[in-house]
């Protein structure tokens, strides 16, 4: 994917030029801007004056004809061409300003850009001084100009003298630097060459960005207190301060957001649309301030008003838009899209409720509604002008048109999708991207007839039914009604998103073959897979394209990211349910499958095993649609998210597809590729661990690592320095104290020892992640300390086990794991012999904001999934980036982390993928003597009732010892035990441990989403 031509969206009233820099420009907007010009209303090109041109300004004033000859064609209206009395007078005023500017000392810091036109990063427009900019805008007409046009102009007229040739484009080096000016000017766009007085007046009123000085910030905050919140200074508490501050920050984002999408509409680059059912964004205020470079200014402004910014951060709710790693990855991608200034939109659903708030009562998880919108969301913009109809149920009617059989989907029920936009800032970026979320609304708000007959519930029934679609993230699908609601939710998301994308495309294009050249749609897992079918329906039924052309467009537009190799986790939908809810889509799926299997037979013959494996329809008592197979067949690229995961995708999960494409003559690497996940260092270092971020900057001597994490490798040379180790110890101590305070506040007043090793295990609770094995190890450690001679306990490494994560409401084994951990914690923490040496904490309601406190404080982090089950994992990257050592298996991204930081700086144990397969075969053949003596002792202690009645989880233990140890917990336990001993020995030598931790930080450069997104852009989009 190529970056579009660029223009600088900032201008500064400043008497000096600053350093230049290349940057790609951002995403395209069409649909939402009522003022968007048509493709025929191009902006007038303008020259980019530098010092030499400014020096010639007075001479050019004497000869306007010459100025016209040397400038490119200026299709200006007559009343604005040089020569009119009005413009001449304006020119004289401008030239006086230029003359005054020349008389003042100017410090030249601009660097010349390379004038060679490159595909990946075209040149940016010059960010000029305000006087130069005004001169150009008034004399030559309003508009921005990209550097590529300047370069091509140079090529056309190489005969000019050096004085006459345009100087290469200059670019400001940093938005942060521009913000230091008293006024920062916005880019200007031409809407109509015959601009009215209204347009000119509006430009005058909106020509500069909001001020960033303390007084301006304070004025904006108090204005929102009074005019947005309708409060007074006597009712201005921390909560009101949060909302007022958030609105003041959002105002800044909206300015850049509008400029970005107006500019991109004009540039018309290819844009990527990222579709994900989850976005685990975390709190947004701190992230926005850090990315805007305004945290210090806002902190000072608020302190002057009597407020503490850290306390204000705590007033924000975590948005309930995600659950686990899938959503957190998507949120990191949004940050990197904008930071790297790629043209991108995120799409998702605006859930009224998050998955749930987790509480612990008597050791059991209980779920509470997470109504995160209860106090409103200051970051979103409700788009009443962007409403898209979505149909369900109905029937398919066949008709003939010009000798062609056609079908139309009609009847059924309709709902409306209303857009809510959230501006996404990038770090030190000139642009702001967009996350568009859909809310389900009824097509008819109120049934007045039912109301008048006394049927008050019936009057609002349609509204309640529609709103349920976007009410809850992942409704429980263990019932028929739950499955239907979940399928509705997915199609609602897909239909609204695709219609929005298509309408934006049609604003500038009328040739459908251009669609893949302007649109790339990335499917984050299979949840958005119905977008493929919906696109085929629209192209064939609505836009009347032939099937082959429509399919060719689809297969070039979509790409699919797989996130699991567990077959049971791959999404499938009952054919009967889809026939009822989406009848036309099922027709299309059957036809796609029919044509695809015809091709398979041509290549592979009548191999029923291959055909059955590749079919989009799973045969059986209840036929199902395989959404993963649909994604593979229709996508241009299929990617895994870690190298070992991609290998499993190709060699096991989709091996028959690989076989087919190889026989077809298509190289496997052309279809199946790897893009290892990452995380954003802005949130997970700069926001979560600012003291560590400052230490990194001090030692390596710059802040460039924040946007190029590979540069953090320079820290490695300091890993053994005593001074750096001491500073790192102090930072870790500060973070551990902060976490201990959080635990005391949120975990029933439990006090933990900040001098102990903080052993952290925070993940979604699942059998393959093996929290159950960690619980069994805690029992083993308890028994070991309890049976020890009291005089020897002083040599024990103190540990605090901190465990957190949610279990899906219908996942019984996961909920029993939480209960077991709670039972163990109750015994350990109340045992006077053992509790001084170990504590066990289950941290409720794990979230992004909690993670930003937990991760920087962790000494050891557990990533112990069964080899071959975790696609990647990203929390391991966050821990490594913060100097936490990892204990884990060779699974997911652990493999690549070990390669980067060194096996000697991790604690690796357990069976590899091949061994896991062998152990499972041995159990299937009847082997039962695989439980080690150390684990048998643990089972005996649990069955004795020492930790409480485990009768309700007896079935789990029977599975483990009875040949159904699918996740190889018993097989890996002894290896896990030995590895934990190595952890203890290493932690006793604090200098050695901290040196490993610093090395881990220095070697984490690969695991930034900036690198991930660049690989997507280069290899997929």
pLDDT at position 181, please? 72
Q: Residue 202 — very low, low, confident or very high, per pLDDT cuts 50/70/90? A: confident
Please identify which of the residues 626, 637, 764, 799 carries the catalytic annotation.
764
pLDDT at position 201, please? 79
Alpha helices in 751-829 (DSSP H): 771-786, 812-829
- Give me the count of residues in the chain: 1021
Q: Is the per-residue pLDDT at 86 higher than 50?
A: no
Choose the weakest-confidence range: 97-111, 306-320, 745-759, 847-861. 97-111
Q: Angle CA(193)–CA(197)–CA(202) in degrees, nearest 5?
A: 95
Q: Which of 90-94, 98-102, 301-305 has the highest mean pLDDT?
A: 301-305
Place of tokens 């069964």: 866
pLDDT at position 787, please? 95
Q: How many angstroms separate the CA atoms of 733 and 753, rounded?
A: 11
pLDDT, tens digit (0-9, with 9 covering 90-100), for 691-722: 999 999 999 999 999 999 999 999 999 999 99
pLDDT at position 177, please? 77
Tokens of residue 411, six digits = 């009847």
Mean pLDDT computed over 289-300: 96
Please identify which of the residues 416, 769, 780, 839 carries the catalytic annotation.
769
Verify whether residue 763 is a known catalytic residue.
yes
Choose the weakest-confidence range: 69-73, 733-737, 819-823, 910-914. 69-73
Verify whether residue 647 is a known catalytic residue.
no
pLDDT, tens digit (0-9, with 9 covering 90-100), for 958-982: 999 999 999 999 999 999 999 999 9
Please identify which of the residues 31, 763, 816, 996 carries the catalytic annotation.
763
Element (H or E) spanning 303, and its range? Answer: helix 295-305
Please identify which of the residues 518, 585, 626, 878 carries the catalytic annotation.
878
Side-by-side strand order, sheet with 572-574: 572-574, 624-626, 617-618
Verify whether residue 874 is a known catalytic residue.
yes
Q: Is the per-residue pLDDT at 444 higher than 90?
A: no
Per-residue 3-state assignment (H helix, E strand, C coil) for 377-421? CCCCEEEEEEEEEEEECCEEEEEEECCEEEEEEECCEEEEEEEEE
pLDDT, tens digit (0-9, with 9 covering 90-100), for 452-492: 676 656 666 777 888 999 999 888 888 899 999 999 999 99
Q: How many angstroms separate the CA atoms of 651 and 672, rounded?
A: 11
pLDDT at position 456, please? 59
Verify whether residue 798 is a known catalytic residue.
no
**Of 798 and 197, which is predicted with more confidence?**
798
pLDDT, tens digit (0-9, with 9 covering 90-100), for 617-663: 999 889 999 999 999 999 999 999 999 999 999 999 999 999 999 98
Please identify which of the residues 88, 383, 465, 563 carries the catalytic annotation.
563
Q: What is the mean pLDDT of the chain?
A: 84
Mean pLDDT computed over 898-918: 96
Q: How many angstroms separate the CA atoms of 561 and 525, rounded?
A: 5
Verify whether residue 134 is a known catalytic residue.
no
pLDDT at position 122, please? 30
**Of 45 and 964, which is predicted with more confidence?**
964
Q: Is the per-residue pLDDT at 174 higher than 90?
A: no
Cα distances from 901 to residues 259, 551, 904, in angstroms, run 42, 45, 8
pLDDT at position 451, please? 61
Q: Residue 227 — very low, low, confident or very high, per pLDDT cuts 50/70/90? A: very high
**Of 136 and 368, which is predicted with more confidence?**
368
Choose the weakest-confidence range: 155-164, 786-795, 998-1007. 155-164
pLDDT at position 32, please? 40
pTM over 0.85: no
**Of 173 and 84, which is predicted with more confidence?**
173
> Are 435 and 455 within 8 A, CB to CB?
no
Q: Is the per-residue pLDDT at 88 higher than 90?
A: no
Please identify which of the residues 646, 874, 1009, 1012 carries the catalytic annotation.
874
pLDDT at position 167, please? 36
**Of 384 and 151, which is predicted with more confidence?**
384
Element (H or E) spanning 524, and its range? Answer: strand 519-524
> Are 664 and 596 within 8 A, CB to CB?
no
> Are 445 and 24 within 8 A, CB to CB?
no
């Amino acid at each position: 994917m190529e970056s579009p031509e660029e223009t600088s969206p900032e201008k500064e009233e400043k008497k000096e030029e600053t350093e230049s820099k290349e940057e790609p420009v951002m995403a395209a907007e069409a649909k939402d801007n009522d003022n968007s010009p048509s493709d025929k209303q191009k902006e007038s090109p303008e020259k980019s004056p530098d010092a030499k041109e400014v020096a010639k300004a007075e001479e050019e004033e004497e000869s306007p004809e010459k100025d016209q000859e040397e400038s490119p064609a200026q299709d200006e209206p007559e009343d604005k061409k040089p020569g009119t009395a009005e413009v001449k007078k304006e020119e004289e005023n401008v030239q006086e300003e230029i003359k005054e500017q020349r008389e003042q000392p100017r410090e030249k810091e601009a660097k010349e850009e390379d004038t060679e036109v490159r595909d990946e990063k075209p040149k940016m427009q010059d960010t000029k001084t305000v006087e130069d900019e005004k001169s150009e805008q008034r004399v030559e007409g309003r508009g921005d100009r990209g550097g590529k046009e300047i370069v091509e102009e140079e090529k056309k007229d190489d005969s000019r003298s050096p004085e006459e040739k345009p100087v290469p484009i200059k670019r400001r080096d940093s938005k942060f630097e521009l913000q230091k000016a008293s006024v920062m000017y916005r880019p200007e766009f031409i809407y109509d060459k015959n601009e009215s007085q209204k347009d000119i007046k509006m430009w005058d009123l909106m020509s500069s960005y909001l001020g960033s000085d303390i007084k301006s910030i304070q004025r904006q905050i108090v204005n929102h207190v009074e005019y947005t919140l309708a409060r007074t200074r006597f009712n201005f508490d921390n909560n009101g301060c949060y909302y007022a501050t958030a609105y003041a920050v959002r105002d800044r984002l909206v300015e850049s957001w509008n400029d970005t999408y107006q500019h991109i509409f004009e540039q018309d680059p290819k844009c990527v649309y990222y579709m994900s059912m989850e976005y685990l964004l975390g709190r947004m205020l701190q992230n926005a301030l850090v990315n805007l470079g305004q945290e210090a200014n806002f902190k000072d402004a608020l302190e002057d008003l009597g407020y503490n910014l850290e306390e204000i951060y705590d007033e924000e709710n975590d948005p309930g838009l995600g659950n686990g790693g899938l959503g957190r990855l998507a949120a990191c991608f949004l940050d990197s899209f904008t930071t790297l200034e790629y043209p991108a939109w995120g799409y998702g659903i605006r859930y009224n409720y998050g998955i749930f708030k987790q509480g612990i009562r008597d050791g059991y998880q209980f779920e509470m509604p997470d109504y995160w919108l209860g106090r409103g969301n200051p970051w979103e913009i409700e788009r009443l002008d962007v409403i898209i109809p979505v149909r369900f149920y109905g029937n398919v009617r066949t008709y003939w048109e010009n000798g062609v059989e056609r079908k139309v989907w009609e009847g059924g029920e309709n709902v409306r999708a209303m857009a809510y936009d959230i501006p996404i800032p990038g770090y030190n970026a000139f642009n702001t991207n967009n996350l568009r979320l859909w809310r389900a609304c009824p097509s008819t708000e109120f049934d007045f007839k039912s109301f008048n007959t006394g049927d008050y519930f019936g009057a609002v029934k349609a509204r309640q039914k529609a709103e349920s679609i976007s009410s809850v993230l992942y409704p429980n699908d263990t019932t028929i009604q739950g499955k239907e609601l979940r399928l509705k939710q997915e199609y609602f998301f897909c239909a609204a998103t695709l219609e929005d994308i298509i309408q934006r495309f049609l604003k500038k294009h009328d040739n459908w073959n251009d669609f893949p050249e302007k649109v790339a749609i990335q499917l984050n897992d299979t949840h958005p897979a119905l977008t493929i079918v919906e696109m085929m329906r629209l192209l064939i039924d609505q836009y009347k394209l032939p099937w082959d052309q429509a399919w060719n467009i689809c297969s070039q537009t979509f790409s699919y990211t797989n996130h699991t190799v567990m077959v049971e986790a791959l999404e499938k939908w009952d054919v009967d349910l889809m026939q009822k809810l989406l009848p036309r889509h099922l027709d299309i799926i059957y036809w796609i499958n029919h044509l695809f299997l015809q091709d398979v037979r041509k290549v592979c013959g009548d191999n029923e095993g291959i055909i059955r494996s590749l079919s989009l329809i799973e045969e059986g008592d209840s036929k199902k649609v395989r959404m993963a197979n649909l994604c593979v067949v229709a996508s241009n690229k299929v990617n895994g998210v870690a190298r070992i995961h991609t290998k499993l995708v190709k060699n096991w999960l989709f091996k028959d597809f690989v076989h087919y494409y190889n026989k077809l003559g298509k190289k496997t690497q052309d279809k199946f590729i790897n893009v290892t996940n990452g995380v954003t260092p802005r949130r997970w270092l700069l926001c979560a661990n600012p003291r560590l971020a400052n230490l990194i900057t001090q030692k390596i001597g710059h802040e460039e690592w924040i946007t190029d994490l590979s540069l953090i490798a320079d820290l490695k040379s300091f890993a053994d320095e005593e001074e750096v180790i001491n500073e790192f110890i102090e930072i870790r101590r500060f973070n551990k104290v902060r976490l201990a305070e959080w635990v005391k506040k949120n975990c029933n007043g439990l006090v933990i020892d900040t001098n102990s090793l903080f052993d952290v295990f925070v993940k979604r609770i699942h059998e393959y992640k093996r929290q159950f094995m960690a619980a069994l190890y805690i029992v083993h450690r308890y028994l070991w300390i309890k049976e020890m001679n009291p005089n020897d306990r002083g040599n024990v490494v103190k540990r605090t086990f901190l465990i957190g994560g949610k279990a899906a409401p219908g996942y019984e084994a996961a909920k029993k794991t939480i209960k077991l951990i709670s039972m163990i914690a109750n015994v350990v923490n109340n045992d006077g012999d053992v509790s001084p040496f170990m504590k066990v904490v289950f941290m409720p309601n794990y979230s992004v904001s909690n993670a930003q406190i937990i991760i920087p404080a962790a000494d050891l982090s557990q990533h112990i999934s069964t080899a071959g089950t975790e696609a990647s994992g990203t929390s391991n990257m966050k821990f490594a980036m913060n100097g936490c050592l990892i204990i884990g298996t060779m699974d997911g991204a652990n493999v690549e982390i070990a390669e980067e930081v060194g096996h000697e700086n991790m604690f690796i144990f357990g069976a590899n993928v091949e061994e896991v397969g062998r152990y499972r075969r041995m159990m299937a053949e009847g082997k039962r003597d695989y439980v080690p003596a150390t684990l048998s002792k643990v089972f005996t202690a649990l069955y004795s009732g020492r930790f409480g009645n485990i009768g309700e989880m007896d079935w789990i233990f029977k599975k483990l010892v009875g040949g159904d140890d699918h996740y190889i917990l018993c097989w890996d336990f002894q290896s896990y035990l030995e590895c934990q001993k190595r952890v203890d020995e290493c932690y006793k030598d604090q200098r050695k441990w901290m040196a490993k931790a610093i090395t881990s930080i220095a070697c984490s450069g690969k695991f930034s989403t900036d690198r991930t997104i660049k690989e997507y852009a280069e290899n997929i989009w």
